């Protein structure tokens, strides 16, 4: 058995490929390499860019057959988990902020605390705004937290959508349609 | 821009599964036989990446059936042939390829190629 096939076998053993399957793949590969050699085709010609990297060939072969987990599986699945958590958090914040805005109570406002000397009159932080003749409403000078949360969460959701689209594009596509 | 051989490899990568299904549809074949059939048709860049992972994927997805049989004077080999799902996938893939080829030709046919001597 050639050194190339031996290195493949070592990689399959390291990956935990069951012996019968490793034997089968090794025998097929060895026979094909012998055929190629008999016809004057070198390993480099036959395997191309895989020729100098038997471990990579063995790994991708086993993972494509579904015998072992894909080498990129760990990184590939970690990112969606983080993305799912991020997206869920942003969605929850959007819902909470929308709920608070819809109910109107309790109205949370960001108020700037300001120390005022006791002998001075406290200025009004809620200036009056005239609305029509004889009517006045109080307007909060500070920005409501709900609106800030809503805007930030919507931005986060948009960012999450962009990350999802990038992740989706980076996944290897199947060349054949599922039937 | 990708050099010529690299582009050929990349183009082939997208349709190599179809090509494998096509050559094994002509008659059951083992790994090396398939590459020979492809090389006879001018696809010499098949080796770039090797067919084995792709055959593994086709097998896992149920697009090929396999069986072991003695080869000519050699040890038993693993032969591949398209399953019924594989034949459907091949037919769909070929129509997609032809549609893409027509569209790309419509764009590229207008290009005048001049090779400097």
pLDDT at A143: 56
| Neighboring chain B residues of A54 at a CB cutoff of 8 Å | none
Shortest CB distance from B92 goes to which of A45, A63, A177? A177
User: Do A89 and A18 share a domain, yes or no?
Assistant: no
pLDDT value of residue A129 = 46
Task: Decide if pLDDT at A29 tops 50.
Answer: yes
For A61-95, write each residue's pLDDT tens digit.
999 999 887 655 444 445 677 788 888 888 888 88
**What tens digit of pLDDT does each residue of B61-78 get?**
999 999 999 877 777 899
Instruction: Return the higher-pLDDT residue of B76 and B116.
Output: B76
Q: Do A49 and B49 touch (CB under 8 A)?
A: yes
Give the residue from A34, A64, A94 where a domain finishes: A64
The structure tokens 């590459």 sit at B35
For residue A77, the model assigns a pLDDT of 46
- The span from the CA of A105 to the CA of A88, in Å, is 24
Whether A93 is covered by a domain: the verdict is yes
Nearest-10 crossing angle of helices A3-15, A54-64: 50
A109 and A160 housed in the same domain? yes
Of B32, B46, B88, the CB nearest to A179: B88
Q: Give the distance, in angstroms, between the CA of residue A90 and the centroid of all CA atoms in the same chain.
A: 14
Domain B4-108 has CATH 1.10.10.10: yes
Q: Which residue of B has its CA nearest to A179?
A: B85
Q: Which domain holds residue A20?
A: 3-64
> How many whole angstroms separate alpha carbon A108 and alpha carbon A100?
9
Highest average pLDDT, of A57-66, A110-119, A132-141, comes from A57-66
pLDDT of residue A172: 44
Alpha carbon distance B52, A100 (integer Å)? 58
pTM of this structure: 0.61
The number of domains in chain A is 2
**pLDDT band at residue A120 using 50, 70 and 90 as cut-offs:** low
- A107 and A160, same domain (yes or no): yes
Can you give the residue ranges of every domain in chain B?
A: 4-108
CA distance A25 to A3: 15
In this complex, do A177 and B85 lie within 8 Å of one another by their Cβ atoms?
no
Q: CB–CB of A94/A167 below 8 Å?
A: no
What would the pLDDT profile of B28-42 be if each residue is shown by its tens digit? 999 999 999 998 998
Same domain for A98 and A34, yes or no, is no
Kindly determine whether residue A27 and residue B75, on different chains, have CB atoms separated by under 8 Å: yes
* CA B101 – CA B94 distance, rounded (Å): 10
pLDDT at B22: 97
| Contact: A31, B32; criterion CB under 8 Å | yes
Instruction: Please report whether residue A69 resides in a domain.
Output: no
Indicate the average pLDDT of chain B. Answer: 88
- Does one domain contain both A149 and A89? yes
User: pLDDT value at position B61?
Assistant: 95
Going by the DSSP 8-state scheme, the letter that residue B3 receives in this structure is: -
A92 and A46 housed in the same domain: no
How is residue A114 written in tokens?
């300001």
Task: Quote the minimal CA–CA distance from B93 to chain A in Å.
Answer: 7
Give the C-alpha separation, B9 to A99, whole Å: 55
Question: Would you say residue A179 lies in a domain?
Answer: no
Domain boundary among A14, A37, A64: A64
Same domain, A124 and A154: yes
Is the same domain home to A27 and A94?
no
Tell me: ipTM over 0.85: no
**pLDDT tops 80 at residue B44:** no
Same domain, A163 and A132: yes
Q: Are residues A36 and A97 in the same domain?
A: no
> What is the distance between the alpha carbons of residues A37 and A57, in angstroms, rounded to a whole number?
19
Average pLDDT, stretch A1-12? 90
């Amino acid at each position: 058995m050639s050194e190339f096939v031996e290195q493949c076998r070592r990689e399959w053993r390291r990956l935990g490929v069951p012996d019968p399957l490793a034997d089968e793949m090794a025998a097929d590969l060895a026979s094909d390499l012998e055929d190629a050699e008999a016809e004057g085709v070198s390993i480099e010609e036959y395997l191309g860019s895989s020729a100098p990297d038997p471990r990579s060939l063995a790994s991708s072969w086993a993972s494509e057959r579904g015998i072992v987990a894909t080498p990129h599986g760990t990184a590939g699945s970690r990112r969606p988990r983080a993305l799912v958590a991020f997206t869920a958090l942003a969605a929850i914040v959007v819902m909470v902020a929308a709920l608070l805005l819809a109910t109107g109570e309790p109205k949370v406002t960001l108020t700037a605390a300001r120390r005022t000397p006791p002998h001075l009159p406290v200025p009004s932080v809620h200036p009056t705004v005239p609305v029509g003749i004889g009517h006045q409403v109080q307007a909060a000078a500070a920005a409501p937290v709900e609106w800030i949360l809503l805007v930030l969460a919507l931005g986060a959701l948009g960012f999450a959508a962009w990350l999802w689209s990038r992740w989706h594009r980076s996944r290897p596509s199947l060349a054949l349609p599922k039937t | 821009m990708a050099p010529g051989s690299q582009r050929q490899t990349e183009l082939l990568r997208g349709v190599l599964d179809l090509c494998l299904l096509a050559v094994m549809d002509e008659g059951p074949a083992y790994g090396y036989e398939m590459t020979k059939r492809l090389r006879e048709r001018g696809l010499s860049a098949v080796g770039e990446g090797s067919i084995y992972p792709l055959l593994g994927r086709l097998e896992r997805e149920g697009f090929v059936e396999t069986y072991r049989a003695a080869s000519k004077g050699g040890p038993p080999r693993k032969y591949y042939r398209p399953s019924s799902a594989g034949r459907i996938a091949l037919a769909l893939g070929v129509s997609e390829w032809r549609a893409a080829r027509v569209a790309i030709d419509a764009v590229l046919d207008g290009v005048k190629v001049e090779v400097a001597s």
